[in-house]
Amino acid sequence: FTPRFLKDYQPAPYQIHTVDLYIELDDERTLVRNQMQIKRHGDADENEPLVLDGQHMELQGLWLNGEALNASRYQCDEQSLTITHCPQAFTLTIETLVNPKANTALEGIYKSGGAFCTQCEAEGFRRISYFLDRPDVMAIYTTTIVADKDKYPYLLANGNCIERRDLERGRHLVTWHDPFQKPCYLFALVAGDFDLLEDRFVTQSGREVALQLFVDKGNLDKARFAMQALQDSMAWDERVFGLEYDLDIYMIVAVDFFNMGAMENKGLNIFNSKFVLADQRSATDDDFFNVQAVIGHEYFHNWTGNRITCRDWFQLSLKEGLTVFRDQQFSADMHQPDVTRISNVRLLRAQQFAEDAGPMAHPIRPEKVVEMNNFYTLTVYEKGAEVIRMLHTLLGEQGFQRGMKEYIARHDGQAVTCDDFIAAMAAANDTDLQQFSLWYSQVGTPQVEATSNYDANSGSLTLTVEQRPASGQQHPPLLIPIGYELLAQDSKKVMHKGVLSLTQTTQQFTFEQLNEQPVVVLLTGFSAPVKLHFSQCEDELMTIMVHADDGFSRWEATQILFRQCIAHYYQDESFSLADSLSRAFADILDAEVEPAFKALQITLPGFAEMTEFLQDVEPQQLLNALSRFKLDLLGKQQAKLQAMYQACDQKLQSGEGHGAGYRALKNACLEYLVQGQSFDTEVTAQYQKASNMTEKIAALQVAASENLPCFEALNRDFFAQWQDDSLVMDKWFSIQARIEDDAVFERLEGLLNHPKFSMRNPNRARALIGSFAVHNPKYFHHASGRGYDWLTDQIVKLDAINPQVASRLITPLIQTQGFASSVQETMRKRLQRLQQLDDISADIGEKINAALV
């Protein structure tokens, strides 16, 4: 597994200027004729051979300037095609055959259901044709597709349609031309028979854009929300960033077999149907939220990713961090900003922090990569977005937008680096971002330690703040923006607020002329992706919980109280709930706040989040602590929780207010109410009455996780009703994997052989295998090691089918840090077993080697 290094970057010696593709689709023998105009770079040696990337193809023919190439002029192996003695400028034509049906890796051209589709990011184009498969080679593409007209009435590619005609033997031909230069990873092709939802968008400059959404037949109604989300995204990007769409048509195709969420191919996005199809009956409120966010994300890439792309894959966060930040801002504007921000932080802390502390930790701009697909990570995406957010905090909205304008003015149409982005931001704001740019190369989650000292005589408050790199790391001090508020003890009013710039290892910040000792709130808005240690007493936290202006800080104060309490339960088996905490919990339940916010406030930190805050974790002991704590909270506040549950139910029935918020709160109460007592009738009633998936699936979920007597009947009913809906079946498989009883391993075997299960469908594999490893910690971390064995067995099978998906699902097994050494040892044994296998993929190999050093 040979690594590539950022430091070794060299521009390509040749550039490909135009690409003319002629593709005759066939299940097993798809013909690709690729005609390219190529020029050698001005400073490249004339003897430099042209080395094109290519895999999983049969070379059929090769012509240079129209003449068949003599065998002595080229060499072809499993990874590349090398051509020697190339002129300075020439036309190269390559004919290859590919086999879409056999393509289970879902990179290049493959079949999803009855349709042909492509996935080229990061390095999938090399499975379609021999090419300089790197993002700094940008070309103009013309694509002609030929296929059977009955089976594939829609033939789609990037850009505008310029020709369409019927051919002999029931076939037809369609040609597309994309007027914008692009890297090959943005190439796309789709051929199939779909239902089509059409609408339009008029841009701010008055151009009309046709919007087309292609979905499996019978699903038109489920596509309407996505269409609205697309129109909202287009309007938002114009309003907030001043960015307008540039082609006359924007197409989205939803497919069932897809490795990730969606792909931003120029003018022809391809989506996992999970992020397009949604209606109240079959999709949860979270699904709706995600559809809107992913539609926005892919749309926003048109400027941050497509018009300006990455010079090399080490720069991935240039487009992904920035685009995640943009989609987070969009979601915040479309929903409640506080609630959205808390969701971002929960994801970061539960998963990205673990990645940053694990064997695959890397900077947001990685420096060494074996398999690029392994670097589409929470670090590059979510921490990358946090880094952009810090810039936004430091420069302010206006300064940030000035920087964006400068970035676009400088680099439209280019493939650039993260340094180019930072340079544009700095120039537009006449500021120096040298120190800030360290965030692009540091690894791990920095720690920030704060203490406060109030001098009553002088009325001054001194905050001493110290930063430390993550354990085992070393780097100069970072520029860390630390949002703060000072709350008056008596009036509880905010006396001061702002952002402190921590630039040194240790720094003091003094506030003068205070006439009382304030309650200090630090890291408001989660202003930096760090672990903050700031010891505050229960009273202070309770003040913050109710009175801070910043919603994130109000939520965080409750989470700190919960985490501290869970830590006590964990350390002491006889620990029981203090009255003060029980009262605080009651206060939260009584507070006049938005229901969605309250739902988050009463949701306890989960297993993954808690492993971040404890050391040498014994999984069963932690699970035990979590459930005792929940049970005690219920014991003390059952009446309030029950009343809240019923009040939400009434609000929902009367159709009053925003349904999603009440559903979230109702389900959050349900999580408590089902603990250790009979709530069977209510769960059954919730399941049966629910006309939306949010309430239905929550009822089924708690019935499963608490082994309620009603579970079997509800489970059967759910299956009978939804067995033909693939996205809902994913939910069903996920729930089966989470059932906590001793029959779990037999059940999992049965599910692998279930007629509805297929390892070839990534959503299904994730639903069963991923859910077990992440959401069933009791059995995944079973002391016998059976949970680790089961995951290992599935990884071996899946790796032979789809290495990219297998490599994502192995994550819980490689993140051994944080657990007690005996647990780590049991996990590592399974990794050693995988390491000894002969034919594991580079994807899996890279991770295992990192985990076992």
Smallest separation (angstroms) from ligand HT7 to the CB of 320: 5
Nearer of residues 267 and 469 to Zn ion, judged by Cβ? 267
Smallest separation (angstroms) from ligand HT7 to the CB of 227: 19
Kindly give the pairing relationship between strand 480-487 and strand 531-534.
Answer: unpaired
Smallest separation (angstroms) from ligand HT7 to the CB of 420: 19
Q: Phi-psi region for residue 571, left (φ > 0), alpha (ψ -120 to 50) or beta?
A: alpha
> In 3D, which of 731, 722, 675, 673 has the Cα closest to residue 686?
673
**Contact call for residues 818 and 358 (beta carbons, < 8 A):** no
Tell me how far apart the alpha carbons of residues 271 and 273 are, in angstroms, rounded to a whole number: 6
Nearer of residues 191 and 378 to Zn ion, judged by Cβ? 378
* Contact characters 793-832, Zn ion, x per CB under 5 A: ----------------------------------------
- Token code pair at residue 747: 């059940």
Residue 547, contacted partner among ligand HT7, Zn ion, none, CB below 5-8 A by kind: none
Give the CB-side neighbour count of residue 286, counting CA atoms within 13 A: 8
**Contact call for residues 296 and 236 (beta carbons, < 8 A):** yes
> Taking every pair of C-alpha atoms in the chain, what is the biggest distance, in angstroms?
94
Quick one: three-class SS letters along 513-525? CCCCCCEEEECHH
Residue 191, contacted partner among ligand HT7, Zn ion, none, CB below 5-8 A by kind: none
Smallest separation (angstroms) from ligand HT7 to the CB of 119: 5
Three-state secondary-structure class, residue 502: strand
Tell me how far apart the alpha carbons of residues 221 and 725 are, in angstroms, rounded to a whole number: 14
Q: State phi, psi for 276 to the nearest 5 degrees.
A: -125, -50
**Contact call for residues 509 and 493 (beta carbons, < 8 A):** no
Candidate list 123, 298, 485, 846, residue with the active-site label: 298
For Zn ion, which stretch binds (CB under 5 A), given 46-54, 314-322, 831-839, 845-853? 314-322
Give the CB-side neighbour count of residue 785, counting CA atoms within 13 A: 13
What is the end-to-end Cα distance of the chain in Å, rounded?
15
Nearer of residues 298 and 799 to ligand HT7, judged by Cβ? 298
Nearer of residues 118 and 340 to ligand HT7, judged by Cβ? 118
Smallest separation (angstroms) from ligand HT7 to the CB of 737: 23
Tell me how far apart the alpha carbons of residues 120 and 695 are, in angstroms, rounded to a whole number: 38
Tell me how far apart the alpha carbons of residues 501 and 480 are, in angstroms, rounded to a whole number: 6
298 counts as catalytic: yes
Q: How many residues comprise the chain?
A: 853
Residue number with the shortest CB distance to ligand HT7? 260
Nearer of residues 265 and 802 to Zn ion, judged by Cβ? 265
Angle in degrees, 0-180, between the axes of helices 821-835 and 842-851, rounded to the nearest 10: 150
Smallest separation (angstroms) from ligand HT7 to the CB of 185: 8
Instruction: Kindly state the number of chain residues that form the binding site for Zn ion, as judged by CB under 5 A.
Output: 2
Smallest separation (angstroms) from Zn ion to the CB of 384: 10
Smallest separation (angstroms) from ligand HT7 to the CB of 214: 17
Residues that bind ligand HT7 (CB under 6 A): 119, 121-122, 259-260, 262-264, 297-298, 301, 320, 376
For Zn ion, which stretch binds (CB under 5 A), given 215-223, 317-325, 360-368, 648-656? 317-325
Nearer of residues 216 and 298 to ligand HT7, judged by Cβ? 298
Nearer of residues 324 and 827 to Zn ion, judged by Cβ? 324
Tell me how far apart the alpha carbons of residues 275 and 288 are, in angstroms, rounded to a whole number: 8
Q: Phi-psi region for residue 566, left (φ > 0), alpha (ψ -120 to 50) or beta?
A: alpha
Nearer of residues 300 and 645 to Zn ion, judged by Cβ? 300
Q: State phi, psi for 560 to the nearest 5 degrees.
A: -65, -45
Which residues are identified as catalytic? Answer: 298
Residues that bind Zn ion (CB under 5 A): 320, 323
